[in-house]
C-alpha cells in the first residue's frame, strides 16, 4: 500500500530531484533533458570547518547514446518499498540505491544494445568562496564577528588508478573560537576539537571502468550492463594520507555480489515498512484528500529514516536533501540552509516525537547520543556561568554544544560571561526538560535499560539539578522561576508555563522509575524539588479558568507560540482522560496565536484534547499546503519557518494524525479519540508504551479488526467512538 512516485518526463535541476537515503548517506537524484542522471550526495557527519553540514559532492552519469536521445517512453520512479530510484528510457534501466547497511551508493545500469557509460565528479566547489555582504548566506550563527568566513573547494586526488577520489579536509575550526568567546576556553584541555582535520569525501569506482581524467571514469568499451559504487567516508585523521588509506580500503574491501547486497537492502526496508503503517480511505468522494494524507505520512516517515541513522540528528532545516532551490531572496547553492549548521531544539524535537508511534526507536539514537556527548560541556558551562551544579542545553547550538557565536553576542562590552545577547533564546532552558520527557516516553515504549542508565538518567540528574539550584525560593519555600522566559514569545516572565509544566510532568515519572536504576540520592533530590514546585499558571477569561503562558509576563509578545498549551504537549498534564479537560479545551479556544504549518502544533493539541473536526481540518490542510512550489517531489515541505525540506511541517502533522487515532493515559489505550469515523476509514499498526503494538481496521464506523500485542493489553483498550469524551 506504499505508493511509488512516478514521473514520465525528465527534470531540469536538483529542484526536480527524488530522495534516496539509508539514514547516514542521502542523495537528491534527477534526470536532465539530455538524459544525464545527476545527483547530490550528502552524509550525516560531513561538517566543514565552519560547522556547516554540507554536501559530499555532485555526480553525473552520461550515456551514449543518451537515455532520451531516441525519444519514446521515459520513467523515473521512486520506490519507497525498497528505497530505490529507477530510471527507464531508450530501453535502458538505471537503478540507484544507497545500501541500508554500508556507506555506499550503488548504481546499476542495463541496456538492450551495447553503449558507453561515463561517470564523473561534477564539482561546483572549485575555488574558495567568501561570504556575501550579510554573511548569513554562508554561515548563519558566525556572522558579525572576527572569523574569516570562506567556504573551501573540494580536493580531487590526482592520478588515482581506476577510481575518482575527492574530499574536503578541515585545516581550521571554529570550535576553539566558540569556547573562548563564551568563557569556556579551559574546556579545550578536557575535550577534542570535533572539526579540525575532519575529512569527508567519496570514491567512485566500478569494474570495467577506467580513468578518462581525474574527475571521470568511462567504460572500457560498449557494454550492456555496468555497476558503479560510490563509497563515502568521514573521519578525523592526522593526515590526508591516512584518510585516503581508509577510503581506499573501504572501497576495495571484498563484498557480496550486488544481488546479495540488494537482497539484504530490500529486507531492511521491508522490515521497516512492516513495523508500522497508517492508511486512510475516504467514505465518500473527497478529491483525493484521504489518499494524500496516507501518502504524505509515509513520505515524511521515509525522509526522516533517510537522515536519521548516522552519528547526528536530522537537521530540521533541510536534512540531507538541500538543493538548488532558488527560493525568493535566498538563491544559494545546495550547501545553503536557512539558520545554518546549528540545531534548534524547538525544531529538532518534532520529527523524533513522531518516531515513537511508528516504532522507529533506532532513529532516536543519534539525538540522545548527541546530547549525552554534550553533557560534560553543559555541566562545565553551568559552573562557569552560574556558579552552581547541573546543566542546561542552549536552544540554538552547534552539535558540540556551544551557543552560536552571533546569538551569544560578539560584542561583550559591558556583558558578563553567560549573558546571551539574543533575547529570543537568552534564558530558554526548556530543551533539557523536554529531552528528558522524550527519553522517558522512549523508555516507556522500549524498557531499554541501557538507554536509561547511560543517557536518560545522567541527563535527567543534571537538568533537574540545574532547575533546583538556578532559581530562588519564595518566603514559603516555593521555587520561583525568575527571571525566566516562556519560549521565544515571552522574554520577561515568572514561572513560565512550559518549564513549570515540564517539572510537574517529569518528576512523578522519574520517581516511578525502577529502583534498581535510580539511587537514593536521586529520589531524595527529586522529592525535594517536587515538594517546592509552583502551581501551573492560570488566568480567567469570560469567567472561565484557563492555562496561562506564565504567572507574570510582559504585555507584548515577541513571537507567536502558544506557551500555555505546553501543558497539553509535550508535557501531558491536560487532555483526554486527564483532569481538567474543559480547562484545556477552553485554553485552546482562547489561544492567542491560532495557526498551523511549519512547527505550529494546533493540530496536535486539538487531537490530544479530543477536538475531532479541528484536528482533522489541520491535518488535511497541512498535508495539502506548506510544500515548496519549486520542488517537483511534493514531500519536500517548506521553506515555512525553516528551510526546504522543512522537517517540522510533516512531522507535527504526522504526530497529530497518530494522536487522532490512538492515545495512552496511564494503562488506558484510547482508540479513535479524535477520529472522524463518518468521513475516513483507516487501517493501522502503531506502537505504544509497554512494548505494545496495536493493529486494526475501522470500516464505516465499525472496528472490524483489532490485534493487540501482548494480548493481555487488549483489556486496556477503550474505543472512544460514540462515547462522552469528558467522562473518559
pLDDT attached to residue 665: 98
Q: Show the cell assigned to 216.
A: 571521470
Q: What is the CA radius of gyration of the chain?
A: 26
Residue 506: strand, helix, or coil: helix
Q: How far apart are CA 403 and CA 494, in angstroms?
A: 24
51: left (phi over 0), alpha (psi -120 to 50) or beta: left
Q: What is the pLDDT of residue 695?
A: 98
Q: What is the DSSP letter of 330?
A: B
Indicate if the pLDDT at residue 425 is higher than 90: yes
What is the enclosing helix (H) or strand (E) of 697? strand 692-699
Of 383, 497, 400, 420, the residue nearest 188 (C-alpha):
400
Same domain membership, residue 298 and residue 246? no
Please tell me the distance from the alpha carbon of residue 704 to that of residue 696, in angstroms, as a whole number. 7
Same domain, 228 and 290: no
pLDDT tens digit string along 42-51? 999 999 999 9
Q: Distance between CA 631 and CA 637 in Å, rounded?
A: 9
Strands (E), 384-509: 396-397, 472-473, 479-480, 484-486, 490-496
Residue 136 has pLDDT above 90, yes or no: no
**Domain of 205, in residue numbers:** 5-275
Mean pLDDT score, 238-250: 98
Statement to judge: residues 241 and 146 lie in one domain = yes
563 with 487: CB under 8 angstroms? Answer: yes
How much is the pLDDT for 1? Answer: 56
Distance of alpha carbon 722 from alpha carbon 308, whole angstroms: 39
In a domain, 537, yes or no: no
Domain membership flag for residue 478 = no
Residue pLDDT, tens place only, 553-597: 999 999 999 999 999 999 999 999 999 999 999 999 999 999 999
Q: Can you give the pLDDT at residue 69?
A: 83
Looking at the fold, whether 251 and 290 belong to one and the same domain comes out as no
**b or e along 154-173 (b: 16 or more beta carbons within 10 Å of the residue's beta carbon)?**
bbbbeebeebbbbbbbbebb
Domain end position, chosen among 231, 252, 275: 275
- Cell numbers given for 608: 490530544
- pLDDT value, residue 135: 73
- Is there a domain that residue 287 lies in? yes
What are the beta bridge partners of residue 702? 699
Q: With contact defined as beta carbons under 8 Å apart, do 261 and 217 qualify?
A: no
CA distances 501 to 433, 541, 587, 669, Å, are 10, 20, 15, 23
Pair 88, 104 in one domain:
yes
Dump pLDDT digits (tens) for 518-539. 999 999 999 999 999 999 999 9
Gap between the Cα atoms of 714 and 716, Å rounded: 5
CA proximity to 37, closest of 75, 4, 80: 75
Give pLDDT, residue 62: 96
Instruction: Please report, for the domain that includes residue 134, its CATH number.
Output: 2.70.98.50
Same domain, 120 and 159: yes
**pLDDT recorded at residue 471:** 98
324 pLDDT more than 70: yes
Among 233, 256, 275, the domain-final residue is 275
Domain count, the chain: 2
Does residue 259 belong to any structural domain of this protein? yes
On the question of a cis peptide bond just before residue 441, with omega within 30 degrees of 0, the verdict is no
Residue 330 reports pLDDT greater than 90 = no
Beta strand 668-671 with 717-719: parallel, antiparallel or unpaired? parallel
Residue 2 pLDDT class (50, 70, 90 cuts): confident
Average pLDDT over residues 277-304: 96
Retrieve residue 54's grid coordinates: 554540507
Say if residue 102 is in the same domain as residue 243: yes
Instruction: Tell me what pLDDT residue 132 has.
Output: 79
Q: Specify if 424 maps to a domain.
A: no
Burial of 399: CB neighbours in 10 Å, binned 0-12, 13-18, 19+ = buried
| pLDDT tens digit sequence for 73-87 | 999 999 999 999 999
- The rounded distance, in Å, linking the Cα atoms of 240 and 253 is 20
Give the pLDDT score at 515: 85
Query: In angstroms, what CA-CA distances link 512 with 449, 506, 531?
Result: 14, 10, 15
Whether the predicted pLDDT of 137 surpasses 90:
no
Give yes or no: residues 169 and 293 share one domain: no
Question: Strand, helix or coil at 307?
Answer: helix
Residue 671 lies in a domain: yes
Residue 213 lies in a domain: yes
* φ/ψ (deg, to 5) at 692: -105, 140
Q: How far is 570 from 581, CA to CA, in rounded Å?
A: 16
State how far the Cα of 464 lies from the Cα of 191, in Å rounded to an integer.
Answer: 25
The predicted structure's pLDDT at residue 331: 76
Burial label for 662, CB within 10 Å (0-12, 13-18, 19+), is: buried
What is the DSSP-derived secondary structure letter of residue 425? T
**Residue ending a domain, choose from 260, 275, 290:** 275
Q: What are the two backbone dihedrals, phi and then psi, of residue 212, each rounded to the nearest 5 degrees?
A: -95, -40
- My answer on whether 205 and 286 are in the same domain is no
Mean pLDDT lowest among 55-59, 136-140, 696-700, 702-706: 136-140
Q: Is 158 in the same domain as 284?
A: no
Q: 604-656, pLDDT tens digit by residue?
A: 999 999 999 999 999 999 999 988 999 999 999 999 999 999 999 999 999 99
Residues 199 and 301 in one domain: no
DSSP at 637: B
Looking at the structure, tell me whether residues 242 and 294 fall in a common domain. no
Average pLDDT along the chain = 96
Average pLDDT over residues 162-179: 98
Residue 564 lies inside a defined structural domain of this protein: no
Amino acid at each position: 500500500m506504499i505508493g511509488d512516485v512516478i514521473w514520465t518526463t525528465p527534470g531540469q535541476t536538483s529542484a526536480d530531484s527524488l530522495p534516496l537515503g539509508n539514514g547516514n548517506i542521502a542523495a537528491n537524484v534527477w534526470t536532465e533533458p539530455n538524459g544525464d542522471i545527476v545527483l547530490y550526495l550528502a552524509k550525516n557527519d560531513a561538517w566543514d570547518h565552519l560547522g556547516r553540514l554540507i554536501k559530499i559532492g555532485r555526480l553525473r552519469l552520461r550515456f551514449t547514446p543518451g537515455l532520451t536521445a531516441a525519444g519514446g517512453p521515459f520513467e523515473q520512479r521512486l520506490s519507497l518499498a525498497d528505497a530505490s530510484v529507477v530510471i527507464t528510457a531508450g530501453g535502458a534501466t538505471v537503478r540507484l540505491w544507497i545500501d541500508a547497511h554500508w556507506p555506499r551508493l550503488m548504481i546499476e545500469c542495463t541496456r538492450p544494445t551495447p553503449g558507453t557509460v561515463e561517470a564523473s565528479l561534477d564539482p561546483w566547489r572549485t575555488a574558495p568562496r567568501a561570504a556575501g555582504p550579510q554573511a548569513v548566506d554562508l554561515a548563519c550563527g558566525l556572522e558579525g564577528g572576527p572569523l574569516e568566513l570562506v567556504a573551501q573547494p573540494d580536493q580531487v586526488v590526482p592520478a588515482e588508478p581506476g577510481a575518482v577520489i575527492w574530499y574536503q579536509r578541515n585545516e581550521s575550526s571554529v570550535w576553539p573560537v566558540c569556547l573562548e568567546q563564551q568563557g569556556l576556553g579551559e574546556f579545550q584541555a578536557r575535550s577534542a576539537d570535533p572539526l579540525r582535520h575532519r575529512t569527508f569525501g567519496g570514491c567512485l569506482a566500478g569494474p570495467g571502468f577506467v580513468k578518462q581524467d581525474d574527475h571521470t571514469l568511462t567504460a572500457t568499451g560498449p557494454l550492456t550492463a555496468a555497476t558503479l559504487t560510490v563509497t563515502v567516508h568521514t573521519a578525523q585523521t592526522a593526515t590526508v594520507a591516512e584518510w585516503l588509506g581508509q577510503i581506499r580500503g573501504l572501497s576495495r574491501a571484498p563484498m557480496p555480489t550486488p544481488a546479495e547486497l540488494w537482497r539484504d537492502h530490500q529486507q531492511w526496508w521491508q522490515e521497516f515498512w512492516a513495523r508500522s503503517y497508517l492508511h486512510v480511505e475516504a467514505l465518500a468522494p473527497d478529491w483525493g484528500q484521504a489518499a494524500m494524507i496516507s501518502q504524505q505520512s509515509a513520505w515524511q516517515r521515509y525522509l526522516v529514516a533517510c537522515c536519521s541513522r548516522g552519528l547526528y540528528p536530522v537537521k530540521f532545516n533541510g536534512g540531507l536533501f538541500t538543493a538548488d532551490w532558488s527560493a525568493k531572496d535566498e538563491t544559494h547553492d545546495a550547501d545553503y540552509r536557512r539558520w545554518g549548521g546549528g540545531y534548534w531544539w524547538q525544531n529538532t524535537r518534532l520529527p523524533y516525537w513522531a518516531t515513537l508511534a511508528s516504532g522507529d526507536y533506532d532513529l532516536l539514537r543519534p539525538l540522545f547520543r548527541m546530547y549525552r556527548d554534550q553533557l560534560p560541556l553543559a555541566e562545565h558551562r553551568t559552573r562557569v556561568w552560574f556558579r552552581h551544579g547541573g546543566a542546561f542545553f542552549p536552544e540554538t547550538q552547534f552539535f558540540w554544544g556551544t551557543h552560536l557565536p552571533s546569538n551569544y553576542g560578539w560584542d561583550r562590552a559591558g556583558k558578563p560571561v553567560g549573558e546571551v545577547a539574543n533575547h529570543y533564546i537568552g534564558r530558554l532552558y526548556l530543551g533539557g526538560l523536554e529531552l528528558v520527557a522524550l527519553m522517558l516516553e522512549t523508555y516507556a515504549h522500549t524498557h531499554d535499560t541501557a538507554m536509561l542508565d547511560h543517557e536518560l538518567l545522567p541527563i535527567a540528574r543534571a537538568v533537574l539539578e540545574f532547575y533546583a539550584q538556578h532559581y530562588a525560593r519564595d518566603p514559603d519555600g516555593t521555587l520561583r522561576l525568575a527571571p525566566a522566559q516562556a519560549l521565544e514569545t515571552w522574554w520577561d516572565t515568572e514561572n513560565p508555563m512550559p518549564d513549570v509544566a515540564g517539572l510537574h510532568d517529569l518528576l512523578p515519572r522519574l520517581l516511578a522509575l525502577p529502583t534498581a536504576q535510580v539511587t537514593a540520592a536521586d529520589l531524595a533530590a527529586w522529592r525535594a524539588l517536587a515538594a517546592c514546585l509552583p502551581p501551573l499558571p492560570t488566568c480567567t477569561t469570560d469567567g472561565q479558568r484557563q492555562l496561562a503562558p506564565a504567572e507574570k509576563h510582559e504585555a507584548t509578545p515577541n513571537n507567536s507560540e502558544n506557551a500555555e498549551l505546553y501543558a497539553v504537549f509535550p508535557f501531558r498534564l491536560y487532555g483526554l482522560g486527564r483532569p481538567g479537560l474543559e480547562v484545556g479545551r477552553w485554553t485552546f479556544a482562547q489561544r492567542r496565536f491560532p495557526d498551523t504549518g511549519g512547527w505550529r502544533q494546533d493540530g496536535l493539541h486539538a487531537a490530544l484534547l479530543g477536538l475531532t473536526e479541528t484536528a482533522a481540518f489541520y491535518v488535511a490542510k497541512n498535508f495539502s499546503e506548506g510544500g515548496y512550489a519549486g520542488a517537483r517531489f511534493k514531500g519536500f515541505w517548506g521553506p515555512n519557518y525553516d528551510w526546504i525540506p522543512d522537517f517540522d511541517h510533516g512531522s507535527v502533522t504526522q504526530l497529530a494524525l497518530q494522536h487522532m487515532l490512538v492515545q495512552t493515559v496511564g494503562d488506558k489505550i484510547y482508540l479513535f479519540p479524535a477520529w472522524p469515523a463518518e468521513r475516513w476509514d483507516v487501517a493501522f499498526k502503531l506502537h505504544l508504551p509497554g512494548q505494545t503494538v496495536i493493529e486494526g481496521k475501522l470500516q464505516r464506523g465499525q472496528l472490524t479488526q483489532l490485534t493487540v500485542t501482548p494480548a493481555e493489553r487488549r483489556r486496556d483498550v477503550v474505543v472512544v467512538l460514540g462515547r462522552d469524551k469528558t467522562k473518559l
